[in-house]
Amino acid sequence: MATFQIEGGHQLKGEIQPQGAKNEALQILCAVLLTPDEIRIHNIPDIRDVSKLIEILGNLGVKIQKLGKGSYSFRSDELNLDYLESKKFKDEGTSLRGSIMIVGPLLGRFGKGYIPRPGGDKIGRRRLDTHFGGFVKLGAKFRYNREERFYGVEATKGLKGADMLLEEASVTGTANILMAAILAEGKTSIYNAACEPYIQQLCKMLVSMGAKVKGIGSNLLKIEGVESLSGCTHRVLPDMIEIGSWIGLAAMTKSEITIKNVSWDNLGIIPVTFKKLGIQLEKRGDDIYIPAHTNGYEIASFIDGSIMNISDAPWPGFTPDLLSIILVVATQARGSVLIHQKMFESRLFFVDKLIDMGAKIILCDPHRATVIGHDFESELKATTMTSPDIRAGISLLIAALSAKGTSTIHNIEQIDRGYEDIDGRLKAIGAKINRYD
């Protein structure tokens, strides 16, 4: 387990360039399995989850060439599908959430797809019913080995298009079903589809490979199956969750920071949600400029004067992946806010660590926490903590950077899952942070 040691209480200053989006990259990487032609992808973040998925693709026989920083070429012309039934795959496939999205492309192209129960954050139950329900609708046979927790779908006679209404707008579920349906015979409609920029980007990539997909950006995707797909070049968007993390970091450490090239059009209600906490941010071209909040920031109330409530919802609602950051930023705001994490049931437990640091938080139940802001009148105190998941990890790191004294965060591999060279990039804007392996 690696560790960060952070000397907090210092203002930061400068520019920061967001990395490519983790959750988009994981979808796009799985899509390389759809064609024997070459696919080139740019702006792939150098993070643990992505490296693990690239390793799985390599073991599956995908020819991979690194073209430069963040740029790769992939060619899936001679795959080794036996790997899917190997012990090695059963170990490697469980190491991240994104690996689940190899099933759809493999099922669509080769009529079979397997996966051990995928990993990812332990933030509550993360069922896969939407994924497999969709594959079954397309005509696949489903099997599950409970002992090995190994899932499989097979369609020896190929897939047939179908109309389906998803039980929930699952992000990876939509991507997975979509990648199978584009190679099914006939038409498919996916209603209650997730429509995050990640999915929109995947749809655009698939269309550039020759897929027929309509309704991109909406919750109703209409697909007309094609026989085969060709190669393409794709560029991953900047990571909106990283951008939100830097906004939170700037406010909490009273730092003047410019986040470069954020792709404003793809940020949805993220900027407006931070503004509800009183954080000023300015659109400068495609950058976000955050001034130093020397006089703090004040949480708004609703029109009728009632206490602000920030909750997650499927896109275009507020992403659950930024609620932990909103929560930590609120601990130093003027005013109070109710944070309601509707999607995941274990994602708020990390508030214990913030309470240890002196934050005023009432965990009402596993989904809701009330935060009473300190308005910087009482600083958070440095402490030793362990990162339970990726977004709690970055939130604790932000708390440590704002706290007086030296904090220690263990299990920072959780943060490395999704943030590229986080210590190097924070040091470049003045943070005092050291890594110990």
Ligand X SMILES: CC(=O)N[C@H]1[C@@H](OP(=O)(O)OP(=O)(O)OC[C@H]2O[C@@H](n3ccc(=O)[nH]c3=O)[C@H](O)[C@@H]2O)O[C@H](CO)[C@@H](O)[C@@H]1O
Ligand Y SMILES: C=C(OP(=O)(O)O)C(=O)O
| 37 marked among binding-site residues | no
The contact mask relative to ligand X for 39-78 (x = CB under 6 A, - = no) is ----------------------------------------
Secondary structure percentages of the chain, helix, strand, coil, to 5: 35, 25, 40
- 134 belongs to the binding site for ligand X (CB under 6 A): no
In the chain, the N- to C-terminal Cα span, in Å, equals 7
| 334 marked among binding-site residues | no
| 23 marked among binding-site residues | yes
| 252 marked among binding-site residues | no
Instruction: Give residue 52's identity as a one-letter amino acid code.
Output: K
Residues that bind ligand Y (CB under 6 A): 22-23, 97-98, 120-121, 321, 390-391, 418
- 97 belongs to the binding site for ligand X (CB under 6 A): yes
Phi, psi of 61 (to 5 degrees): 105, 5
- 373 belongs to the binding site for ligand X (CB under 6 A): no
Helix (H) or strand (E) holding 223: strand 220-224
Residue closer to ligand Y, measured from CB, 297 or 318: 318
| 295 marked among binding-site residues | no
Active-site annotation holds for 121? yes
The contact mask relative to ligand X for 156-175 (x = CB under 6 A, - = no) is ------------xxxxxx--
Q: Shortest distance, CB of residue 57 to ligand Y, whole angstroms?
A: 17
- Which of these, 108, 89, 256, lies nearest to 182 by C-alpha position? 108
Q: Is there a contact between 11 and 249 (Cβ–Cβ < 8 Å)?
A: no
Each as own residue / partner, the long-range contacts of residues 84-92 (CB below 8 Å, 24 or more positions apart, any chain) are: 84/60, 84/112, 84/113, 84/114, 85/114, 88/59, 89/56, 89/59, 89/114, 89/116, 90/116, 90/148, 90/150, 91/116, 92/52, 92/55, 92/56, 92/59
Residue closer to ligand Y, measured from CB, 42 or 126: 126
- 321 belongs to the binding site for ligand X (CB under 6 A): yes
176-177-183-186 Cα dihedral, nearest 10 degrees:
-170
How far is it, in rounded angstroms, from Cα 381 to Cα 405?
7
Token output for 241 = 């969750």
Q: Shortest distance, CB of residue 98 to ligand Y, whole angstroms?
A: 6
Catalytic residue among 37, 77, 121, 312: 121
Q: Coil, helix or strand for 403?
A: coil
Q: Shortest distance, CB of residue 402 to ligand Y, whole angstroms?
A: 21
Q: Shortest distance, CB of residue 352 to ligand Y, whole angstroms?
A: 19
Residue closer to ligand Y, measured from CB, 389 or 423: 389
Which residues, in sequence order, are CB contacts of 243 under 8 Å at separation 6+?
18, 259, 262, 267, 270, 288
How far is it, in rounded angstroms, from Cα 151 to Cα 220?
27
Q: Shortest distance, CB of residue 42 to ligand X, whole angstroms?
A: 20
Which of ligand X, ligand Y, none sits in contact with 367, Cβ below 5 to 8 A by type? none
Q: Which residues are annotated as a binding site?
A: 22-23, 97, 321, 343
Q: Which residues are annotated as a binding site for UDP-N-acetyl-alpha-D-glucosamine?
A: 97, 321, 343
Residues that bind ligand X (CB under 6 A): 23, 26, 97-98, 124, 126, 168-173, 314, 319-321, 343-344
Q: Which residues are annotated as a binding site for phosphoenolpyruvate?
A: 22-23
Question: What positions carry a catalytic annotation?
Answer: 121
